[in-house]
Each structure stands twice: as C-alpha cells, then as structure tokens.
Amino acid sequence: MVWKPNVTVAAVIEQDQRFLIVEEETGNGLQYNQPAGHLEEGEDLISAVKREVLEETAWQFEPEHIVSIQLWRKNPDSLSFLRVCFSGRCHSHNPTQQLDNGIIAAHWLTRDEIENQRHRLRSPLVLISIDDYLSGQRHSLSLLKSFIDLDHE
C-alpha cells in the first residue's frame, strides 16, 4: 500500500490586526481554524484556497504569498496532512451567502484572542501559521507550478 498525505490549503488573512478565523463543527465539538480545506481533483492550489475561503467565510480572497508548507500528523494513528498555507487580502464580502456545511461563523480575532482559545483550535497549525506570518515569512507564489492535464510528447 502506498502512503499518501492529504493535501490541504489554508489562508492567514489579516485586516486591522485581526485574523479571519472560522468556527466549525468537528468530531471534537466547536473549534477554530483558518479558512482551509482539501485540494479537489483537477484543481490547482491557488484556486483551492480561493474556493475554500469563499465557501467558508463568504469573502473573496486574493493570495499574495505562501507562508509555509507544513507536514502535520497529530499522532502515529492519525492521517497525515501536507498543508500549503497562504497569506493575502480579502475583498467583496457577501453577508447573505450560506457558509459551507459545518461552518458556524467567520470571526475577525486578534492574535491574543486566538491564543486565549488555544484549547479550541482545530490544530496547532492555526497559531503556528499566524506566528509565521507575523514573523514576516512570505514566499513568492511563483514557487507553485501546476501541470494539470499537461500533454507531453
């Protein structure tokens, strides 16, 4: 059997020293996370993060940088995730849009407010990603190359 990590995307979005966080239903109760989700078949990473942010927050997102690429596994019996974390800006909020299944609300929280909810974070990557962003970690989107359905002869 071939081992494969789940590929996910996430977005660190800051506005006025607050970060866009989603509150979602999970198997462990209500938890906080960055807007995030799985890469879908035929989709590139930038399209995936734009789609996930829109579905989970009703905000249009424009990625500007890669904050980090993270490999995470909670414990040896858990799934592994390869997570590409982006940063960028939001515009064009649609307050009447229904949020993705399981998303209760989107919140703009300060880093301290997020820290105070550490026990409710979906994973340690939420705060790690914010701190990486705040420390100035920014990598060019040009690092990403997509060769989906590329016909090579």
70-122 residue pLDDT tens: 999 999 999 999 999 999 999 999 999 999 999 999 999 999 999 999 999 99
Q: The pTM is what?
A: 0.94
Least confident of 11-15, 60-64, 75-79, 127-131: 75-79
Cβ(13)–Cβ(35) below 8 Å = yes
Q: Percent of the chain scored above 90 by pLDDT?
A: 94
The pLDDT assigned to 152 comes to 65
Two tokens, residue 2:
């071939």
Residue 1 clears pLDDT 90, i.e. is over it: no
- Tell me whether residue 134 is in a domain: no
Determine the residue type at 93.
H
CATH number at residue 67: 3.90.79.10
Least confident of 25-29, 72-76, 145-149: 145-149
Assess whether pLDDT exceeds 70 at residue 51.
Answer: yes
Listed in sequence order, the residues at least 6 apart from 10 whose beta carbon sits closer than 8 Å to its beta carbon are 33, 34, 35, 36, 49, 52, 83, 84, 85, 86, 125, 129
Is 148 a domain residue? no
Of 83, 80, 79, nearest to 69 by C-alpha is: 83
- Would 11 be classed as within a structural domain? no
Q: Which pLDDT band, with edges at 50, 70 and 90, does 153 fall under? A: low
Q: Please check whether residue 4 lies inside any domain of the structure.
A: no
Phi then psi for residue 91, to 5 deg, are -155, 170
- Domain, as residue range, for 73: 17-78+86-123
Number of domains within the chain: 1
